[in-house]
Each structure stands twice: as structure tokens, then as C-alpha cells.
Amino acid sequence: MQTIELGRTGQHVSAMALGAMQMGGATDERDSVYMLNRYFEAGGSFVDTANCYEWWRRPGSLGGQSEELLGRWMREGNRREQVFLATKGSAVPIFSPDLWDDQGQPNWELARRTFEGAGADTLRHALDGSLRRLGTDHVDLYYVHVDDRSTPLEETLEALHGLVQAGKVRHLGWSNVRTWRLERIRQLCERNGWTLPVAVQQQHSYLRPGASADTPSIVDFEQLDYLREHPDQTLVAYSPILKGVYDSAAKRDGHWMMENYTGPDADARLAVLADVAAEAGVKPNQLVLAWLLHQESPRVLPLIGPRTRDQFDDALPALDVKLTDDQLHRLNNAGT
């Protein structure tokens, strides 16, 4: 597996990251360990989790299952030094029995209104909990999982800088964030000598969000332009294949992931994607991952989050797909 530099840190990480969100929840331990082992056999090292994963799977839970599983896996194989380990804080909802209905289904509207946020004490306690579950004294990358606009940025950034100074965190990241907030973060870090986040984890794929899409979680044209101008921050692309919708028109039809992407632009890009996939002899999902791996301005680090062994095994061939200049040109320029 190829590596890329994280920002301008000198730290090289695998060009494709493995997301552990569903490990210990929707994905049982046996299948999780299979995927982790296969990923490392393929040359990977960058594993991504969060303290909130997967609170929504079981009434009464507030997460931590993914971190606990990763901790066990690292201890059993003495792997900690081989893992570039990322986790996140700020997105655990404040506990309430109303977080689940009578059928045990999560109340996402309430969760999004009551996430714990990025206050200084909250982040310090959240990181300590993550370190305990992961069985390590530091993480390589620590994200603010959900941008918290109710807490002063100064408070959050100073606390994060303190965690770096204490040796508990090597690098910082931010997720689900507007571009203007990234610039404000940059200005405050420069002014105060605080540690600048070097990873920006956002939803990013081959399809482009429509004009009506309005979410801080999805990369838009402005954010791409900003990241081109600031290569000291690497775009980590979550949901890169949009729950696997590229392989199936039937799956795309009515799928909630398509709500922000439908329209003439999407139709045109899907048509070109199908043509190039046929030429390259790969599946459209695989081609999307390969296209992301080929992006240079800005560089993109796709983060896969398979739930099953088959989904994982289906993603790996993307690492070996080589696209011609003509194919890249057609893919890049498809649409309106």
C-alpha cells in the first residue's frame, strides 16, 4: 500500500485508512479481527475510531465498543507501535432514556442536539477514557468529531494544544466543519502558537453535492479550494463510496445517502463512471476509491468503513487500479 504525508508533518500514513466505527457493534469481533489483520497484511496502518462508536446499537450504551475491541486486538498481537491510531471526541450524546424509543431505535434528532461538545474539561476526560479503552498512553491523531459552535474556539484549541504538549496526542484533526471555521482555527493557532489540526475528516466522494445541499459534513467546492491552498491539512474522506451505492442503480434509488447528490450533474458523473469502470475491468465502487487515491490537488485519503468481510475484500482491489491520464480527465470533468 502506498503512503502519503499527513499535512506537512513529515508523518507518512497509509493512503487508505480503515474505519472501525462498526467494529464491536454491527460487526462482531471475529469479522473485525479478520478485517484488521487483512488490512495490515496489505500494508495498511491507519485505523480510525471514535469514543461514541457505536452508542446507537444498544439502548443504554454511550459507545466505546470500537475502542475496546481495538485495544484488545492491539494487545493480543503487540501491534500498538505498528498502528497509526486515530480517535475522536465531542460527539457522545448526553445520556437520556429518550435517546432510544420503545423498539430500541436511536433518537438521532435528540442526539444531535445534546452531543457533549468540545469544552476543555469534556475533551480532557473524553481522551482519558479513549486511552483507557484503547490500552495506550497516546493516540497519533485526535479529532474534534463534531464542530462545537457553542464553545469558544479559543477554549477548545488551547485544551487540544495542552493534550499535545502532554504527549497524549501526536497530531490534531477536525471533522464535520465549515470552511470559514477552518480559517478561524488557523488564525487562532497562528496567533497563539497552538497546534494546528493537520487532518480534516469530511464526507467526500466522486459525486458532488447539489446546490441545495447544506451540511457542514460534506466537502463543497469552496472547501476543496481552501484545502488546495492549504496543503498542511489533509482531507480524510469518510463515506467515500456513499454506502456502496455506485454499484447498483436499484440501491441508489431512494437511498438516503443520495439526498444531497441527485440531479443532472450526478447523472452525468455516474454515466462516465460506468464507462471507465467497464474499461478498467473494475466495479464502480472500486473505481471511486481508486479515483480518490489518484487525486493530487488536494490530496485525498479515503477512509473505508466496511461492515462485512465481503465489503472489506471488495474495497482492497482499488489499491491496485491504475488510471490513465485520459480516464482521469474524463472522470474529473464529467458533469455540468
Owner of C-alpha cell 460534506: 218
CA distance linking residue 286 with residue 278, whole number of Å:
11
End-to-end Cα distance, the chain: 34
Best CA proximity match to 149, nearest among 172, 121, 115, 125? 115
Whole-number Å distance between alpha carbons of 257 and 205: 11
Q: Cell 482492497 appears where?
A: 316
Which residue in the list 39, 53, 206, 261 is annotated as catalytic?
Answer: 53
* CA–CA distance, 64 with 54 (Å, rounded to integer): 7
Question: Strand 139-144 relative to strand 169-175: parallel, antiparallel, unpaired?
Answer: parallel
DSSP 7-45: TTSS-EEESSEEE-TTBTTTB-HHHHHHHHHHHHHTT--
34 counts as catalytic:
no
Q: H or E segment at 184?
A: helix 179-192
Task: Judge contact between 292 and 237, C-beta under 8 A.
Answer: yes
Instruction: Give whole-number Cα distances, 96 to 66, 122, 326, in Å.
Output: 21, 18, 54
* Active site (catalytic) residues: 53
